[in-house]
Every structure is written in C-alpha cells, then in structure tokens.
C-alpha cells in the first residue's frame, strides 16, 4: 500500500509541476509576441486596440473590460498604465519602459515615460487601499484572461487594416489577350452558371441568452440563500451578476456573440460602484434629500444627512444676530446652502470621493478636494455668525450668498 500511495503522490506532484510549467511557458510566449499599440484607431494609449488586433477580437469588448476593471476597485487603471509602459508602439523597437533603460528606441519621450511611471504610484495606492483580497482575486482573474487569450488565440496573426497592393505590370512587357488571336471567339455565348446549393445557415452562438439565464439563476439563488446567509446582500448579488456578465463577454470574444451584454454590464458596474462607495447605514429615511428654510436660530439642526438626493438649506430667513453652527452631509448628490448677504460665514467644504466645490467663490473639483475660509459678507465683520461643514461623498457642494 505504501509504495502505491507514494507513487500516486509522485504522479500528482509531477502533473502539478507540468501544469505550472505550461502556464509559465504560455506567459513567456505572450511576452515574446506581446501586442503592439497601433498609431491609428486608438482612444488613449492604444493598449485595448493593440490587444484586440493581436488576438482578433472586438476592441469594444477589451475597452469595456478595462472599464469594468477600473470600477472593480480601480484595478483597470494600473493595468492600463502597465500596458502603456510595457507594450511597444507601432514602428518602435521596444516599449517605452525598455527604452528608458537603453534597450532600444521608442517614439515616446523619456519625460512622458517617467510621468506615466509616477502615475502608477497613486493608482496602485488607491487600488490596494480599497480592499486587499478582492483586488488580488481581480488581478488573478485578469492574469487568467491573458493566459486564456494567449493559449487559445496566440497562434493567430495580428489583424491589420492594410489592403493587398495591386500587381504592377512589368514595364515593356506585351499585354496578352487570349482572345486577340481568334476574332471568331469574341461573340461566344457566356457559359450558363451551374446553380450552387444554398450555403447552410450557421447558427449563432447563444452566449447572450445563456449568460442572461445564468445571471437570472444567480439572482434567484442569492435571494433564497439570503434568508439563511447574511453575506448575500444586494451589493454582493450585483457583484456576482457582474462577474457572470463579464465571463459571458469573455466567452463571446472567443466563439462570437454576446456583445449585447455590454449594455447591461455598464450600468450594473456603475450601480455596483456607487453602492460600494456610498454608506447608507441601512437607513432608508436618508434617501431623497430635503429642503429646509429655518426662520429662527433654534430651528437650525446640528446636522443634516442624506444618502442619495439633493439637500438644500436656506438660512436667509434667519435674524441678523446670533450664532449658528451646523453640518450637512450627502453621500451621493448635491448639498446647497444659501447664506444671508451680511452674515459672517466660516466654512469648510469637502468632496470625500469625487466632486465639485463652489463655496463663496472658492472652487475646486476632482478627487478628495477641499476648500475652507471665512467670508464676512457685504458689511464686513458683525451680525449673524454662521459656521458650516458641508460634505459630499460623490457630487456637488455649493455655499451661495445671494
């Protein structure tokens, strides 16, 4: 018994080593025959278009894949930058990064290469700061997709848009007409073409229908499993459906079909991104925003909150004296505060994820932006004092004096 068990273990280890060696060989082959970024037909750096041409798949599918990866914790951004740095451009000897270490010529300037390299640091910091295990799984899935592409379509020649050049006649050579020497043959009747049997209709792969069926079963299964397992929340269910749709697009890129799944994957990815970036804290009353116009200092609440919607706080009906301090926060939407023209306003405005700020003529927009200051109004110091802390997770913040 012992020798047989040892022999089985040896066979398993040997098979695992061969499998790992096969994966390594495929990835080395990918690097040796990696895609080339074309100069024409690209949207940004040509990474998606180069991959599509190399493996003869639809460029739209590759672009959608990068967008979906960017929405899945930001993984798509460093992956695209890595492709920009490591894939050579059409007509170049080596990639921009290889050119930087003097391995050959690249048309990209060294300054631009260094800039792209610096952009990798915040991209990687944002990606790995948003969740470790999920990011590792997403990266592993991306590497697996590259492996599958190279394994199944690596033998294909890169697609080109070049037309075959016409044959140019040799100068001085006589043109030969097979009927020129037989005038009686000029009026011969045209031969009657033989009827050809109709070409058999090719059945289109039903990738889209099968994928939608699987997605429906995932939704139903999650709804049933959620009764006993709290993990199956709406957010996690949407994530599972996005994974199913992405897998359907990947299969469709090999066998054809399934392109219509893009129009379902995009909005679901945006919804999933919004639901994971926004904390609703389980309070459904925070949905919808509010519109408040207090007329007395005592009517102003210490804090106003909303999950999704438009928040408007009008303080112009308050008296000309006293002191007010309040905070306004919205996860997704806009927060607008109107202040009296003569009030002394101390403010802090912030977009914690991404947004646009316009607070008493101090403006900013982008990711994690903030402005603050004090504005004494038209009459200078004196009168009603207002202290504001206005925040939006994703959206717009405005403090207006009108």
Q: Are residue 225 and residue 293 in the same domain, yes or no?
A: no
Q: Are residue 273 and residue 294 in the same domain, yes or no?
A: no
pLDDT of residue 373: 93
Q: Are residue 311 and residue 384 in the same domain, yes or no?
A: yes
pLDDT of residue 350: 93
**C-alpha–C-alpha distance, residues 229 and 225, integer Å:** 6
Q: Are residue 58 and residue 129 in the same domain, yes or no?
A: yes
* Cβ neighbours for 50, distance < 8 A, ≥ 6 positions apart: 35, 36, 37, 38, 42, 83, 87
Judge whether 163 lies within some domain. Answer: no
Q: Are residue 252 and residue 379 in the same domain, yes or no?
A: no
Chosen domain end from 136, 153, 170: 153
Is the per-residue pLDDT at 326 higher than 90? yes
pLDDT of residue 19: 60
Judge whether 254 lies within some domain. Answer: yes
pLDDT category, 256, cuts 50, 70, 90? low
Q: Are residue 249 and residue 328 in the same domain, yes or no?
A: no
Q: What is the pLDDT of residues 291-314, one digit of tens each?
A: 899 999 999 999 998 877 788 999
* Nearest Cα residue to 57 out of 264, 255, 260, 262: 255
Q: Are residue 52 and residue 23 in the same domain, yes or no?
A: yes
**C-alpha–C-alpha distance, residues 307 and 281, integer Å:** 9
pLDDT of residue 178: 46
Is the per-residue pLDDT at 230 higher than 80? no
- The domain in which residue 273 lies consists of 215-277
pLDDT of residue 314: 94
When mean pLDDT is compared over 97-111, 157-171, 197-211, 383-397, the highest value belongs to: 383-397
The total number of structural domains in the chain stands at 3
Q: What is the pLDDT of residues 142-156, one digit of tens each?
A: 788 888 888 888 888
Chosen domain end from 135, 153, 171: 153
Judge whether 196 lies within some domain. Answer: no
Alpha carbon of residue 69 to chain centroid? 5
Is the per-residue pLDDT at 161 higher than 50? no
Instruction: For 269-343, list the strands marked E by DSSP.
Output: 287-292, 303-314, 323-339
Judge whether 167 lies within some domain. Answer: no
pLDDT of residue 391: 92
Q: Are residue 23 and residue 140 in the same domain, yes or no?
A: yes
Judge whether 330 lies within some domain. Answer: yes
**C-alpha–C-alpha distance, residues 243 and 237, integer Å:** 10
State how beta strands 362-375 and 344-359 pair. antiparallel
Q: Are residue 46 and residue 120 in the same domain, yes or no?
A: yes
**C-alpha–C-alpha distance, residues 6 and 60, integer Å:** 51
Alpha carbon of residue 336 to chain centroid? 30
pLDDT of residue 179: 45
pLDDT of residue 162: 44
Return the DSSP state at 92: -
Contact (Cβ atoms closer than 8 angstroms) between residue 100 and residue 114:
yes
The whole-model pTM stands at 0.43
* Nearest Cα residue to 88 out of 144, 33, 162: 33
Q: What is the pLDDT of residues 80-136, one digit of tens each?
A: 888 899 999 988 888 988 888 888 888 888 778 887 877 777 777 777 665 555 667
Is the per-residue pLDDT at 166 higher than 50? no
Judge whether 193 lies within some domain. Answer: no
**C-alpha–C-alpha distance, residues 357 and 396, integer Å:** 6
pLDDT of residue 16: 57
Q: Are residue 314 and residue 385 in the same domain, yes or no?
A: yes
**C-alpha–C-alpha distance, residues 94 and 40, integer Å:** 18
Is the per-residue pLDDT at 180 higher than 50? no
pLDDT of residue 372: 93
Instruction: For 231-322, list the strands marked E by DSSP.
Output: 287-292, 303-314
pLDDT of residue 1: 44
Average pLDDT, the chain: 76
Is the per-residue pLDDT at 5 higher than 60? no
Asked which of 53-62, 69-78, 251-260, 377-386 is least confident by mean pLDDT, the reply is 251-260
pLDDT of residue 309: 73
Is the per-residue pLDDT at 170 higher than 60? no
- Of all residues in the chain, the percent with pLDDT exceeding 70 is 71
When mean pLDDT is compared over 67-71, 365-369, 394-398, the highest value belongs to: 394-398
Q: Higher confidence at residue 271 or residue 9?
A: 271
Q: Higher confidence at residue 4 or residue 68?
A: 68
Judge whether 194 lies within some domain. Answer: no
Q: Are residue 84 and residue 141 in the same domain, yes or no?
A: yes
Q: Are residue 343 and residue 272 in the same domain, yes or no?
A: no
């Amino acid at each position: 018994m012992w020798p047989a068990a040892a022999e089985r273990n040896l066979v398993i280890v040997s098979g695992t080593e061969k499998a790992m060696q096969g994966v390594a060989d495929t990835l080395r082959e990918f690097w040796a025959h990696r895609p080339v970024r074309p100069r024409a037909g690209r949207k940004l750096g040509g990474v998606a278009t180069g991959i599509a041409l190399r493996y003869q798949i639809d460029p739209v599918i590759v672009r959608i894949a990068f967008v979906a990866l960017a929405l899945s914790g930001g993984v798509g951004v460093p992956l695209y930058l890595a492709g920009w740095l490591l894939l050579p451009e059409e007509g170049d000897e080596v990639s921009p990064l290889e050119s930087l270490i003097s391995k050959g010529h690249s048309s990209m300037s060294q300054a631009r290469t260094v800039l792209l390299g610096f952009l990798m640091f915040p991209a990687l910091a944002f990606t790995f700061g948003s969740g470790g295990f999920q990011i590792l799984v997403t990266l592993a899935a991306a590497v697996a997709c590259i492996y599958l592409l190279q394994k199944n379509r690596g033998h294909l020649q890169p697609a080109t848009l070049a037309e075959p050049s016409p044959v140019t006649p040799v100068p001085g050579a006589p043109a030969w007409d097979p009927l020129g020497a037989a005038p009686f043959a000029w009026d011969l009747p045209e031969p009657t073409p033989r009827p050809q049997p109709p070409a058999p209709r090719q059945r289109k792969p039903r990738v889209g229908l099968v994928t939608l069926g699987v997605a429906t079963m995932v939704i139903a299964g999650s709804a049933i499993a959620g009764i006993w397992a709290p993990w199956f929340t709406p957010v996690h269910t949407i994530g599972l459906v996005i994974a199913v749709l992405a897998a359907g697009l990947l299969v469709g890129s090999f066998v054809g079909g399934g392109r219509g799944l893009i129009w379902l994957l995009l909005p679901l990815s945006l919804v999933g991104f919004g639901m994971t970036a926004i904390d609703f804290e389980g309070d459904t009353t925070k949905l919808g925003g509010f519109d408040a116009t207090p007329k007395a200092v005592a009517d102003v609440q210490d804090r106003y909150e909303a999950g999704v919607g438009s928040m408007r706080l009008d303080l112009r009906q308050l008296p000309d004296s006293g002191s007010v301090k309040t905070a306004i926060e919205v996860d997704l939407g806009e927060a607008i505060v109107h202040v009296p023209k003569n009030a002394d306003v101390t403010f802090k405005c912030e977009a914690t994820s991404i947004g646009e700020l316009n607070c008493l003529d101090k403006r900013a927009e982008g990711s994690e932006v903030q402005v603050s200051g004090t504005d004494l109004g038209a009459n200078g110091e004196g009168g009603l004092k207002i202290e504001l802390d206005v925040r939006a997770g994703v959206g717009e913040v405005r403090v207006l004096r009108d």
